[in-house]
Amino acid sequence: MDYRTIVGQGPALSQVNADALLVVVTPELSATGAPELDALLKDAIAKADFALKAGRTLYVHRPQGVKAPRVVLSAAANGSPKGFRAAVAKGLAQLKDLGAAHVAVLTADGFALAVEHAQALVLAAADGTYVFRETKPSAPKPGALDKVTLVSTAEQNAAVKAGLAQGQAVAEGVTLARELGNLPGNYCTPTHLANQAKQLAKTYKHIKAEVLDRPALEKLKMGSFLSVTNGSAQPPKFIILRYEGASSKQAPVVLVGKGITFDTGGISLKPGAGMDEMKFDMGGAASVLGTFQAVAELKPKINLIGLIPTCENMPSGTATKPGDVVTSMSGQTIEVLNTDAEGRLILCDALTYAERFKPAAVIDIATLTGACVIALGHQHSGLFSADDALAQALLDAGTQTQDTAWRMPLDEEYGESLKSNFADLGNVGGREGGAITAAVFLSKFTKAYRWAHLDIAGSAWKSGGAKGGTGRPVSLLTQFVLNQAAAGADAIAPSKPATPRKAPGGKV
């Protein structure tokens, strides 16, 4: 897809050269300044064929005095990037099965287009034209659309241009994550994920990839991670990605992604209905790979490490049994009370491994708990962190890219239920607050650095008719990394203590 911007305003808007015009209006801003388009808008509203209400669209064929042969009117709730994205998505859906190859998107006069709007447009277009073909070659080809032009004012033009470029890089990362999520378990094995990482390293000179096999993991004493792979015929892999965009002295941000390529539950076997969806259980890993791709395209001045523990969770005669006690790399022993709580078992060793990078911050991303889907649905990712500044930075990055997260509690008290008579920790608490106890379990392995956890069990994929991966939270993570790079060392600096600390001499 080709994305461009041109400058245009007022009467010139009805003469824009494209196969279709997509006109985005809001309840406050409903005139474009082009008489032909404004007459059309006014008439359509007067005749109740169109309303200035979010979600409403109207297709018009060969309207009078407009150069483009097709016009779609689309109403946004307001001028926010979120509203704009939804209106663009709706408008493009109207054009989907039509012959338009080049769509020009224009906004009502006074609409304040910024970087975020341009990025939102690219993500909406990429989302609307994505088709999974890898194991279904007969899937309908994406429509005719191959070029989108966003019309801006001279003042907005530079920001729009930057937003389109950033959006394109992010959209490619989102698509990679989505594609990997959709790929079935017999294609997307731990070895396949490792090959994807190596491919990224081959394509981008700023990325390096290293893959550790079982003997290296045994040497590292990753007993918790290895206990999950016991029942599987597929070899486990531990992927280490490095993006070097700043001086080697600068502490890196570390992203850790859960890479269970299929989660049967193990001996604590899941029910059969809907179990196919557990091929998405490597969504965290996919989001790390997608973010590395986007970051390598955008080249921010930052150091980034990606860690992906990846294996299958299978039942067999060699599988870990409920009650088995394993020793994690941290030295803490864990009683595996439920083999279906395997995500935390592979993540805890990766989180311990992360210490060696002396990270500025560590963020793990995991389809960790069904409880998180019950709590938040598919709208927001669950965000857990004891670090207010880091949490806020992640929430902000999510809002900026409409890839939102919602902060959840992380009180120590929730950890009571993780006590075990036979090990330092049990791997499950009760059913209640399940997403939180999972996060508290992980927190026991993150004492050496600033840490946040994203539970993406709901946000990384959709169920029902539109079943499939979403590529989330690549947008959030990439924006977070870009914001960190732009702000330098201050980006997520801890907030200043409320009371001044005593100086060594006793003076305040």
| Cβ neighbours around 363 below 10 Å, total | 27
Q: How far is the CB of 398 from ligand BES (least distance, A)?
A: 19
Closer residue to Zn ion, CB minimum distance, 343 or 473:
343
Q: Confirm if 341 and 438 have CB atoms less than 8 A apart.
A: yes
Q: How far is the CB of 481 from ligand BES (least distance, A)?
A: 25
Q: Which of residues 206-265 bind Mn ion (CB under 5 A)?
A: 263
What b/e sequence results for 463-474 when a residue is b if at least 16 CB atoms lie within 10 Å of its CB, and e otherwise? eeeeeebbbbbb
Cα torsion angle, 170, 398, 382, 461, sign: negative
Question: Choosing among ligand BES, Zn ion, Mn ion, none, which partner's interface includes residue 428 (Cβ < 5 to 8 Å by kind)?
Answer: ligand BES
* CA dist 433 → 79, 363, 409 (Å): 37, 21, 10
Q: Which of residues 263-292 bind Mn ion (CB under 5 A)?
A: 263
Which pairing describes strands 102-107 and 147-152: parallel, antiparallel, or unpaired? parallel
List active site positions: 270, 344
Which among 341-349, 364-372, 428-436, 462-470 is the span making contact with Mn ion, rule CB under 5 A? 341-349
Q: How far is the CB of 341 from Zn ion (least distance, A)?
A: 8
Site string for Mn ion, 342-371 (x = CB under 5 A): x-----------------------------
Q: How far is the CB of 463 from ligand BES (least distance, A)?
A: 9
403 binds Mn ion (CB under 5 A): no
Q: How far apart are CA 79 and CA 61, in angstroms?
A: 26
Q: How far apart are CA 122 and CA 130, in angstroms?
A: 12
Which residues form the interface with ligand BES (CB under 6 A)?
263, 281, 338, 340-343, 367-371, 373, 428, 434, 457
DSSP secondary structure letter of residue 248: T
Q: How far apart are CA 283 and CA 266, in angstroms?
A: 19
Amino acid at 442: L
Q: How far apart are CA 203 and CA 207, in angstroms?
A: 8
340 binds Mn ion (CB under 5 A): yes
335 binds Mn ion (CB under 5 A): no
Question: Choosing among Mn ion, ligand BES, Zn ion, none, which partner's interface includes residue 150 (Cβ < 5 to 8 Å by kind)?
Answer: none
Which residue's beta carbon is nearest to the bound Mn ion? 340
Closer residue to ligand BES, CB minimum distance, 120 or 222:
222
Closer residue to Mn ion, CB minimum distance, 74 or 313:
313
Q: How far apart are CA 222 and CA 232, in angstroms?
A: 17
What b/e sequence results for 247-263 when a residue is b if at least 16 CB atoms lie within 10 Å of its CB, and e otherwise? eeebebbbbbbbbbbbb
Ramachandran class of 45: left when φ > 0, alpha when ψ lies in -120 to 50, beta otherwise: alpha
Which residues form the interface with Zn ion (CB under 5 A)?
260, 263, 281, 343
Closer residue to Mn ion, CB minimum distance, 296 or 345:
345
Q: How far is the CB of 419 from ligand BES (least distance, A)?
A: 15
Q: How far is the CB of 276 from Mn ion (least distance, A)?
A: 14
Closer residue to ligand BES, CB minimum distance, 106 or 368:
368
Which among 198-206, 333-341, 483-491, 497-505 is the span making contact with Mn ion, rule CB under 5 A? 333-341
Which residues contact Mn ion by CB under 5 A?
A: 263, 340, 342
